Amino acid sequence: MTSYIIRRAILTLISIWMVTVLIFLLLHVIGPFFISDRSFDPADWTESISYFLVPEEQLADPEMVRQTLARAGLDQPILQRYLSWSGNLLQGDLGSSVISERPVWDELKWRLPVSVELGLVALVLSAIIAVPLGALTAVKQDTSVDYSVRGYAIALSAFPNFWIATLVVEYASKWWRWAPDIRFEHFWVDPIQHFSVMWLPVVLIALTPGSVFVRYMRATMLEVLRQDYIRTARSKGVVERMVIIRHAMRNAMIPVVTLFGLVVPILIAGNVIFERFFTLPGMGKYIVDAVGDFDIPVIQSMVLVFALIISITNFLVDLSYAWIDPRIRYS
């Protein structure tokens, strides 16, 4: 097990490094190359990037352009930029915004809890509701319960959650003159206000992973229910309810663990969309705003943070799966 953990940890570290290279290439090499294609000399990265960062009226003044770029550390050669960025990262320095000049870390301290709360609560909520529901549809296969729950799950995976959100907000205001509360307060400042803002986005984000869980749990549960040990349990006289809860569900839930890794990118996408929709001060809104401003230091550090979250979850999922199922460790 230890060697598996070490192997997997090294793989994760290398993959995170690869993500830093990739995002750096995208923002510092590919992006500016395309941009410069139109109105600037392709070879001159500095010139093309200043097109984004410097207000138009200052573009004519080379001194202003130079100052803005120097402030962001964007006037150095590319390799040096990468080395200083990754060097700073290793020391825990994520850089500063070019626009507001606030350190990314200062923003993150306040925004990370919001996004993690949204994602985590949505994940737990969807798992608590959807996993038993999925098991239920398998037990009651081809009954009206099965069809209606599956119908909901299929519809929820087909109709985008942001459309459902728009629908909810529109009809709530039309019928009950109710609008979602968007006066955000942190939990430690005003828990009640915090809850009244967060509940709707959490429920909406939970819809998509919920439908994934229902369908997957149903499939694995159907498979488990056909296994020999279930027949053995039944034939030795175990009460049906116990067969389902103790024997079938516990085994059917093992493969569902792998879904957590799959669902994290969905949750991040949900964060990005709904933090903007409900104007919540989380990481999703932060990066969307940063992309709008082409705030390179913020974008590159935030993509890295998201990639870190996904790869750490994948790492933990793999470990727990290998812990549950010893066959994985030795392959």
Partner 1 sequence: MSEQQTASSTEEEFFDIIPEDDRPWLVQKMSGMGRFAVRRPLGFFGGVIVVIFLVIAVFAPWLVPFDPYKQSLGDRFLSPSWTHLVGTDYVGRDIASRLIYGARLSLFVGMGTVILSGVAGTVMGIMWAYLGKTFDSFMSMMVTAGLALPDLVLLIIAAQIARQAGVSEILAIVVTLSFTRMWGVTRIYRSAALEVRSRPFVEAAESYGANSIRVMSKHVLPNILPLIIVSSTLALPNAILAEAGLSFLGFGPAGEPSWGQMFAGEAREYFRRQIWMLWAPGLTIGLTVMGFNFWGDAMRDLLDPRLRGTT
Question: Whose structure tokens read 């207000």?
Answer: 55
| Structure tokens, 108 | 């993150």
DSSP H/E element including 167: helix 161-176
Q: Decide whether 72 or 307 has the Cβ nearer to partner 1.
A: 307
CB of 316 to partner 1, least distance (A): 13
Residue 96 phi/psi, 5° resolution? Answer: -130, 155
CB of 188 to partner 1, least distance (A): 28
Q: Under DSSP, is residue 249 helix (H, G, I), strand (E, B) or coil? A: helix
Cβ contact 283:104 at 8 Å: no
CB of 318 to partner 1, least distance (A): 9
CB of 238 to partner 1, least distance (A): 25
Please give the biggest Cα pair distance in the chain: 86
Q: Decide whether 181 or 223 has the Cβ nearer to partner 1.
A: 223
CB of 197 to partner 1, least distance (A): 19
Q: Cα separation of 215 and 124, whole Å? A: 17
**Residues in touch with partner 1 (CB under 8 A):** 11-12, 14-16, 18-19, 22, 26-27, 30-31, 34-35, 37-38, 51-52, 154-155, 157-160, 162-163, 166-167, 170, 174, 215-216, 219, 222-223, 261, 265, 268-269, 272-273, 276, 287-288, 291-292, 294, 299, 302-303, 306-308, 310-311, 314
Q: Decide whether 175 or 188 has the Cβ nearer to partner 1.
A: 175
Q: Cα separation of 61 and 54, whole Å? A: 10
Q: Decide whether 20 or 194 has the Cβ nearer to partner 1.
A: 20
Q: Under DSSP, is residue 184 helix (H, G, I), strand (E, B) or coil? A: coil
Q: Decide whether 21 or 324 has the Cβ nearer to partner 1.
A: 21
Residue 212 phi/psi, 5° resolution? Answer: -65, -45
